[in-house]
Amino acid sequence: MEKLYAQALMKLIQGGMTPSDAVRAMHKKLKAEGREALMQRIAKSFSRLAYTDMHRNIQTLSIADASQEAHARAEAQVGSEVAVAIDPSLIGGWRLEGQERLVDASYKKHLLSLYRRITQTV
């Protein structure tokens, strides 16, 4: 139930209403319906929803070490708006994640693919 209210609150804010006005309107509606006690659960649900939505829209360029950043940005064709993360599990190359897509140009991916092909033929 609180998830639906949180989604409605998110739609109000994305529709152009200020967050404080949207919360006030939601509180007024809940109070009129006698469901004011749901406000804290709606707040928690809204927090989870906003966190998920925020991370869905952020792009991250993962690289093995900082010296590869310029090369990875050029290959991935991304600008400075993309966040860079150092991923020690990568041997080399890069991974671009975000906006519901993944571009994997890491050495790790290619080495694992090569290993699988070799071991399947034996």
Compute the distance between CA of residue 78 and CA of residue 61 in angstroms, rounded to an integer: 9
What digits encode the pLDDT tens for the residues 10-62? 999 989 999 999 999 999 999 999 998 999 999 999 999 888 887 777 889 99
pTM: 0.54
Place of tokens 């989604």: 7
- The domain segmentation of the chain, as residue ranges, is 2-57, 60-121
Q: Rounded to 10 degrees, what is the CA torsion of 96, 102, 106, 109?
A: 170
What digits encode the pLDDT tens for the residues 90-114? 888 999 988 878 999 989 888 999 9
